[in-house]
A and B are shown apart, each in its own frame.
Chain A
Amino acid sequence: MSTADYKDRQFLAVIGDEDSVTGLLLAGIGHVTAPPDSQKNFLVVDNKTDNATIEAAFERFTTQRKDIGIVLINQHIADRIRHRVDTYTQAFPTILEIPSKDHPYDPEKDSVLRRVRRLFGE
């Protein structure tokens, strides 16, 4: 891991339902890159969004963009692309599963917490 690899990572990215994204944007994490290919660092997912779109966004935030340090993803959305989230093992950017308004947080599903539990032999 080179120094430059994470020094440039200064944004957070969100994949979430409308309310989570709105709230996080209000906190001021929203960022749109310069006009030619104005890329947003957030994706609003609702029932009509198909999994391919979510996966594409996940892919874009984790591998293509080099300026994102943390990817926040709603847990129920992470469940939809669970295989991708579970097989993601890199340190940067960090994937963080967050609860949403309609879906309470379940620590059993979280890929990192599951590892924590496994290590403690619970």
Chain B
Amino acid sequence: MSGAADREAVFATRQSLALMKAKLKGAETGHSLLKRKSEALTKRFREITRRIDEAKRKMGRVMSIAAFSLAEVTYAVGGDINYQVQESARSARFRIRAKQENVSGVLLPAFESYVVEGSNDFAMTGLGKGGQQVAKCRETYARAVEALVELASLQTAFVILDEVIKVVNRRVNAIEHVIIPRTENTIKYINSELDELDREEFYRLKKVAGKKQRDTAEADAEMKQKKDMQAKQDQENEAPAEDISGPTDLLAADEDEDVIF
């Protein structure tokens, strides 16, 4: 039978049957729950991938605008400010903060940008000329970085969700294709084994009953035989006595002795 192929090593008892049935029920519940979780995550995942696609394109545009404004600065200042900027960077004004979002029990981090007020490393940049362009450029780049931060949080969520969905799907498949069939096989095996035991028991009972009947019949026959013999003997014993005493008056006769078999 197929149950022998893949089943759990249990003894075929009613207790383990009940246990297996509970397990099957649990597996089915878990399967449907996980399936739903996987669907919710996939929905979210698709939304995120779509937004990533959009955000990446937007980033391309924003970055080109930003690069253009930097070119304007170079023109207005009348020389490279690269070196000056790189050397005067001290403390980040533009920082990020991570917060969490919960999607079906998965914690997705999201970055949030914030600006630390009061620190400006580039007070001297563009002091001579082109200060306005520098300020404009800073704003443009700040907006670009905001877009980048948003994209980064989408991307992080993408990576994490991808991983989680894989794990959840693996679990769903494991339950669907391994645990449930195996439990069902085990239940089938236990049932067939219990049936077998039942039949065996029934046959044994029948056998015992048959033997008992035979024994009783034998005993009855023996008893009957004995009785017959006794009766015959009695008759033989009684007959001569009649001969001696001659015919008796039945009515006047003494009371008969009680016959006890």
Give the interface of A toward B (CB within 8 A): 1, 6-7, 9-12, 18-32, 40-42, 44, 69-70, 72, 89-92, 94-96, 98-101, 104-105, 107, 110, 112-113, 115-116, 119-120
Contacts and interface: CB of A to CB of B under 8 A. Distances in A.
A8 to B, nearest CB: 9
Given A22-B70, A22-B81, A105-B63, A27 B138 contact: yes
Given A32-B90, A94-B152, A70 B96 contact: yes
Given A29-B145, A31-B92, 20 more contacts: A10-B95, A12-B92, A12-B149, A21-B82, A23-B67, A26-B85, A28-B93, A28-B120, A30-B86, A30-B89, A70-B111, A90-B159, A92-B156, A94-B153, A96-B155, A98-B63, A99-B63, A99-B64, A105-B60, A112-B159
Contacts of A7: 98
A20 B59 CA distance: 13
27 contacts: A12-B145, A12-B149, A18-B82, A20-B67, A21-B82, A22-B82, A23-B69, A23-B70, A24-B145, A25-B89, A27-B145, A28-B92, A28-B120, A28-B138, A29-B93, A44-B82, A70-B148, A94-B159, A96-B152, A98-B148, A99-B64, A100-B67, A113-B52, A113-B56, A116-B53, A119-B49, A119-B162
A41 B141 CA distance: 17
B67 to A, nearest CB: 4
A92 B108 CA distance: 12
- Do most interface residues of chain A lie in helix, strand or loop, or is the interface mixed? mixed
Contacts of A22: 70, 81-82, 85-86
B151 A96 contact: yes
Interface in B157-203: 158-160, 162-163
Contact of A31 (B66, B82, B91, B115): B91
A2 B60 CA distance: 33
Contacts of A92: 109, 156
Contact of A27 (B91, B97, B141, B159): B141
A8 B143 CA distance: 23
A99 B60 contact: yes
A26 to B, nearest CB: 5
Nearest to A12: B96
Contact of A112 (B71, B107, B155): B155
